[in-house]
Amino acid sequence: MPRKAFEKLLLEAVDEALASLGDSAKQSIYFHLENKFEIERNEIPRRVEDFAEGLEEIFGVGAQFLEILIMKELYERIGHPVNWDKNKELIFAEYVVAAKRSFLRRRKGSQASLQK
């Protein structure tokens, strides 16, 4: 169940970040991801690296802007600030894995305290 909750939060963050470009742009991006890269929206949480590669193919270096927006949205939704070394290359998939790990750890910890 916590994994599904994280996947939902990630998809919401992706939706919100893409919506910042406008609704028709968001729909177009999802269309290209599905038709050119065979990544359906609901598969994004399980295919984060493929999703990032698709964004990079579509936007080139501009994909990093979207990845940062997604990460800000995601960390806001899970209750953690986004901190990264601006001198280090942003690797989107690594941040998603770290967010998921942190989210699952916090959920597990809060469930354990509820059971006491």
Q: What are the tens digits of pLDDT across the range 28-86?
A: 999 999 999 999 999 999 999 999 999 999 999 999 999 999 998 998 898 866 556 66
Tokens of 39: 């990544």
Dmax (CA) of the chain: 50
Q: Which fold has domain 2-109?
A: 1.10.1200
Residue 25 pLDDT grade (very low, low, confident, very high; cuts 50, 70, 90): very high
Q: Where are the domains of the chain?
A: 2-109
Q: Half-sphere exposure of residue 97, counting CA atoms within 13 Å on the CB side?
A: 8
